[in-house]
Amino acid sequence: MKIGLFIPCYVNALYPDVGVQTYKLLDYLGLDVEYPQDQTCCGQPMANAGFEDGALPLAQKFDELFEKYDYVVAPSASCASFIKFNNPAIMEKHGHTCQSAGKTYDVCEFLHDIIKPKTLPGKFPHKVSLHNSCHGVRELKLSSASELNIPRYSKIKDLLSLVEGIEIVEPDKVDECCGFGGMFAVEESAMSVCMGQDKLKNHIATGAEYITGADSSCLMHMEGIVKREKMPIQFIHVVQILTAGL
């Protein structure tokens, strides 16, 4: 099993430790992992802004760069989701077939569904509130969507439960959007902030020390509000918990 590690732009630029810990975790699990040096943006920001045709060269480069790998793994639910569900349509419109969509996974999805570990190395003796990002819930099915009449599940919660010492809680309105939404946070900033404030009230009400999730973008949005308003809670990506103490 050969793994190509994809590190999204904002993770690389703002949260590089998330990328490093993703590599460390996959390596710890005995997987053959490579980080292609020439990787670029997956094209999500451009396409979400309405410039899908401009995202085509990025989609093609992604396909070519990760062609030789059995799986492509990324510490980002939103980017993995974009590659899975958007790149095929973008490429098909221009007469190309996307080869990478079916083998691209968010790291939590990959661990839970493909690797299925029975133990993980993390030790994190803290109370953590789990944030479910929209792409993760409704496209990658990392957890059950509250509007569906199906049994409740959470793949991220299952993984975190393997970490020694952790206490996992979830907020009211468990899969309500935090207000980030990529371009939405730029074009509708006032509404975005209000949604973030509401979401944070529910997270803080759990009494958690940390908020965690599979998307650094959502965590970044909420952390910005926390820093401005001096709210009493910290942020950490799921992967950083799974490798804590490694």
For residue 245, pLDDT over 90 is answered with no
User: In terms of Cα–Cα distance, which of 43, 36, 44 is closest to 64?
Assistant: 36
Interval 201-240: pLDDT, tens: 999 999 999 999 999 999 999 999 999 999 999 999 999 9
Interval 162-191: pLDDT, tens: 999 999 999 999 999 999 887 787 788 899
pTM of the entire structure?
A: 0.93
What is the pLDDT at residue 169?
Answer: 98
Domains and CATH numbers, the chain: 2-115 (3.40.50), 127-242 (3.40.50)
Interval 105-135: pLDDT, tens: 999 999 999 999 999 988 999 999 999 999 9
CB of 236 within 8 A of CB of 212? yes
Question: Distance of CA 51 to CAs 56, 90, 141, Å?
Answer: 9, 10, 27
Calpha distance 53→91 (Å, rounded) = 9
Q: Of all helices (H) and strands (E), which one includes residue 219?
A: helix 216-229
Calpha distance 203→218 (Å, rounded) = 13
Q: How far is CA 36 from the centre of its chain?
A: 20
- Contacts with 19 (C-beta within 8 Å, 6 or more apart), sequence order: 5, 7, 11, 12, 75
